A and B are shown apart, each in its own frame.
With several copies, the nearest count.
Chain A
Amino acid sequence: MKLYEYEGRELFRRYGIPVADSVVVESVDEARRAAESLPGKVVVKAQVLVAGRGRAGGVKVAETAVQAAELAGRMLGSEIKGEKVEKVLFTAYTEIVKELYLGIIVDRFKKAPQVIASAEGGVEIEELARTSPEHVLKVEVNPLLGLTDYQVRRVVRFMGLDGGLADQAGRILRNLYRLFVEVDCELAEINPLAITPDNKLVAVDSKVIVDENALFRHREFVRPSEGTGLEEEARKLGFTAVELDGDVGIIGNGAGLTMATMDMVKLKGGRPANFLDVGGGAAEDVVEKASRLLLTHPRVKVLFVNILGGITRCDEVARGVVSAYKAVGAGKKIVVRMMGTNEEEGKRILRENGILPYDSMEEAAETAAKLVR
């Protein structure tokens, strides 16, 4: 789960990583009061999770409090790359002598945390790693030992720091690692880490991704499910869904199979409307809820249900689909492919209710794609 910049900054502060003074505002009134509390130039930053905020006009420098409030007023409620701006962050403007990069990620191949550092900050690190790998240092941390002092020294040296800056960077890295572990992060990144004219290091931006599987240890970050989009509705019902721009609604069981189902629809010339995984062992009511959700979606013209029964029973699935289709399926088409546990019973139920079941995923996908043409 991506944290907003202001949440990441708050974590930085808590873990002793220096950040510029800042205030979060949610309204124009608040913005006016807040702007006056920060002396000097102010950076006004839209709090959105999409990447590329800066180029999309989400980061501006204000010379005066009045200007800052004005900029915030314009940002609040606007959309940046499709994401609505609910909060704006004011931070004291930091003079920057040089920008560095410091981050820690979970490395899937090493199966370990990896510190990533560069003497070049403010850039996209993956891009830099591709174009100038010699400018990027990666240090694998043993998850049982944690970050060692010799590794800290290596990183700091690579960043070209010595003296007081080296000490500051060492402390920042140790604290960032502590944050990374204690807050169960997938990513904790300071980009840029700025050197100021008075030789201080300051974290100018924060990017923190918390492992959703570990939220039970970090209740503070659990966000109330709000909004009305398909993804939010699905989440409320306990499913993982991803919305796409097509018109073939997809329900599968298992993430891999559901993805494969989307891919197949596309391959057959259709356009998937979504990804929705009902998971293993879904009972009638679960399938019904998922089916209703998609059948009532304005963009969905055909619903394609693809179930491979293992723990999941095909008869339960059939009942759920039929029930939803009867209730809210008017004007929509439905294609079901099922195989596995209680397959015969499931197919019988479908046929009895006028739905022709498919044996082959490929044929079913082809039909689904054709039905919307």
Chain B
Amino acid sequence: MAILVDEKTKVLVQGVTGRQGMFHTRSMIKYGTQVVAGVTPGKGGQRVDGVPVYDSVAEAVEKHPEINTSMVMVPAPYAADAVLESLDAGLRLVVVITEHVPVHDAMKFIRYSSYRNAHIVGPNCPGVITPEASKVGIMPGHIFKRGSVGIVSRSGTLTYEIAYAITSSGMGQSTCVGIGGDPVVGLDFIEVLEMFRRDAETEKVVLIGEIGGDLEERAAEYIRKTGYPKPVVGYIAGRTAPPEKRMGHAGAIISLGAGDPDSKVRALNEAGVSVASTPNEVVKLLKAV
């Protein structure tokens, strides 16, 4: 079954004619994702790898009413508008790859998505992949293998590292969700954990957090309070990061009395979550639980 994306996912790529947009559209098609259409204002009528390009989401959806998911790859200043356009067109899942989206923009479109009964993944995320079914993102597809481990992560390459370790060990993934490295993101740990809870295919979950904010502590509280029924293994990046310094991700900063790694590890441990010290240890713990 998996979550969020699967064989029925029909993708629209916003910003499809950009360098990144073209590259990843091709890569997704190669992976087997059903990329149905693309949008770049002013470029309507073109094609990218056979995918028709439209001037607006409304036109794309009118021509291809089967579209149910959008992937946003437009530059940061235009990302919020692109998300609103997809939400207003009735799409139920918008994956925002774009980095450097202003946090006030994100707060607005995330709140709006909740009113439109839609989900946002990201911004500043690698996307979502259900191996061997659909990849809506920028991750290298070949390192994933379909299986029973759900992954939810604030990171990109670190997720690939851990996913690859899982794949190499003979296990596989149900769905991997990169929720994004920004301070404010759409789906968060709790919401994805809740989806994994209801997903029959997912047997175990890997939660990859990092310094900054308190989403990991909130997730730990959720796991503890709900008696989360599936084993969860954690990993927290940035244990050697100094306070008040932004570690690459806009969200990765120990600041304003929140975000230090020890608090996260402690909270997860108290919720019965084993936290690995290295990516490889994640695999060991997964096998042990």
Contacts and interface: CB of A to CB of B under 8 A. Distances in A.
A108 interface: yes
Nearest to A311: B138
Nearest to A241: B248
B18 interface: no
Contacts of B115: 144
Contacts, number: 204
Interface stretch (B3-11, B28-36, B195-203, B234-242): B234-242
B213 A109 contact: yes
A143 B58 CA distance: 20
B84 A260 contact: no
A26 to B, nearest CB: 25
A184 B252 contact: no
B85 interface: yes
Interface string A273-297: 0010100100000000000000000
B160 A310 contact: yes
Interface in B192-237: 208, 210-211, 213-215, 218, 235, 237
A192 interface: no
A255 B214 contact: no
B111 A256 contact: no
B161 A257 contact: yes
Interface string A342-373: 00000000000000000011100000000000
B237 A150 contact: no
Contacts of B101: 213
Interface string A242-283: 101000000011111111101111110000100101001000
A320 interface: no
A27 to B, nearest CB: 29
A51 B100 CA distance: 26
Contacts of A99: none
B247 A153 contact: no
A242 B242 contact: yes
A334 B155 CA distance: 26
A184 B104 CA distance: 6
Tell me what chain A mostly uses at the interface: helix, strand, loop, or mixed.
mixed
A304 to B, nearest CB: 13
Contacts of A106: 103-104, 107, 183-184
Given A108-B184, A184-B104, A266-B240, A308 B157 contact: yes
Contact of A216 (B57, B77, B164): B77
Interface string A147-159: 0111001100100
A365 to B, nearest CB: 9
B45 interface: no
A238 B220 CA distance: 36
A259 B211 CA distance: 9
Contacts of A196: none
Contacts of A157: 55
A362 B107 contact: no
Contact of A214 (B84, B104, B161, B210): B104
A148 B84 contact: yes
Given A213-B102, A256-B157, A148 B240 contact: no
Interface string B157-200: 11111001000000000000000010111001000000000000
Contacts of B52: none
A-B pairs, top 10 by smallest CB distance, nearest first, are: A256-B155, A255-B248, A126-B257, A254-B157, A256-B158, A214-B102, A257-B157, A259-B237, A310-B140, A143-B107
Interface of B: 23, 41, 55-58, 76-78, 81-82, 84-85, 88, 100-108, 110-112, 115, 138-140, 143, 153-161, 164, 181, 183-185, 188, 208, 210-211, 213-215, 218, 235, 237-242, 244-252, 256-258, 277-280
11 contacts: A106-B107, A127-B257, A149-B78, A213-B76, A213-B103, A240-B248, A260-B279, A262-B240, A308-B161, A341-B140, A361-B280
